Amino acid sequence: MTTLTTLKKFKKDGTKFTCLTCYDAMFARMMDKAQIDTILIGDSLGMVVQGHDSTLPVSVDDMAYHTANVARSNEQALILADLPFMSYTILSDAIANSRKLMQAGAHVIKIEGGRELCELVTTLAQAGTPTCVHLGLTPQSVNVFGGYKVQGRGDEAANKLLDDVKAVVEAGAALILLECVPADLAKMVTQAVSVPVIGIGAGADTDGQVLVMHDMLGMVHGRVPRFVHDFLTDERNTEHSIAGAFALYQQSVREGSFPSEQHKFS
Ligand code: KIV
């Protein structure tokens, strides 16, 4: 069973680890078989399962329902679950909503933001709930960013992101997730902190990699993001199966062949 201690050891040893989003029982079982290290019940389910055009409509009850479905069907992975949009703005709401997701089977709660999350991160850590803080392109803030755009470009933005990461780690964050940031910045952040850093569109030098499951199976609605690779039709997936795609992803991340140059931002 993968734990936070396992991921810390992976970081220390330089062993790259995997994460995939998952929302239901059958895929959770297949990810168990492929020995995917960590699973994220992402609020991306608003887009890939519910058909919304953003993650904003997702509720805490939606997250708890999908977390329970995944958690009862996977024995091996560390399970992360997203607190959805505006469900953690008020501290007492955040605590109650985190409890729901932990009781549904999550091991770690993921929240989006920066240093403004420090009080929440410390409170949850003291209450036995580890957090993963998601920075860079945080999809719940799409309306602030004016679209899904690369973040952390330029010295000022890069320094702010690095300072925010250091602040939340100091406050007790157990994991960091960086989305769509320049690869050099992600490398700098990964080297600057003792906790494992997971990347998506953040280059090859983070400790772990995450992809949305539908994306890596080639099920993309609209433009294919630069950081996505289709493991289902990859010729190395000789079985042409979903199980083969998960296994190939696990192998490619471990051996360092994914992500490659073409998947990164500068
Ligand atoms: O909700 C989600 O799937 C995520 C990933 C994109 C990291 O946050």
**What are the chain's domains?**
4-263 (3.20.20.60)
Predicted confidence at residue 112, as pLDDT, reads 98
pLDDT tens profile 28-53:
999 999 999 999 999 999 999 999 99
Residue in 44, 217, 219 to alter for ligand 1 test, most ligand atoms within 8 A of Cβ: 44
Predicted confidence at residue 179, as pLDDT, reads 98
Helices of type H across the chain:
4-13, 25-33, 45-48, 60-71, 91-104, 118-126, 142-145, 155-171, 183-192, 213-216, 242-255
Predicted confidence at residue 122, as pLDDT, reads 98
Cα-to-centroid distance, 212 and ligand 1 (Å): 7
Predicted confidence at residue 9, as pLDDT, reads 98
Report the pocket of ligand 1 as residue ranges, CB < 6 Å: 21, 40, 42-44, 82, 134, 177, 179, 200, 210, 212
Rounded Cα gap, residues 10 and 116, in angstroms: 29
What tokens were used for 144?
């602030």
The strand pairing partners of 142, in sequence order, are none
Whose Cα sits closest to atom 8 in ligand 1? 42
* Secondary structure of residue 121 in the 3-state scheme: helix
Nearest to 204 by CA among 240, 239, 234, 229: 229
pLDDT tens profile 232-245:
999 999 999 999 99
Work out the average pLDDT over 149-162: 97
Whose Cα sits closest to atom 1 in ligand 1? 42
pLDDT tens profile 163-176:
999 999 999 999 99
Cα-to-centroid distance, 201 and ligand 1 (Å): 11
Which pTM does this prediction carry?
Answer: 0.98
Structural contact between residues 113 and 133, judged by C-beta atoms closer than 8 angstroms:
yes
170 belongs to the catalytic site: no
- The residue count for the chain: 266
pLDDT band at 96 (very low <50, low <70, confident <90, very high): very high
Whose Cα sits closest to atom 6 in ligand 1? 212
Active-site option among 75, 119, 156, 179 = 179
Predicted confidence at residue 120, as pLDDT, reads 98
Work out the average pLDDT over 92-105: 98
Rounded Cα gap, residues 105 and 81, in angstroms: 9
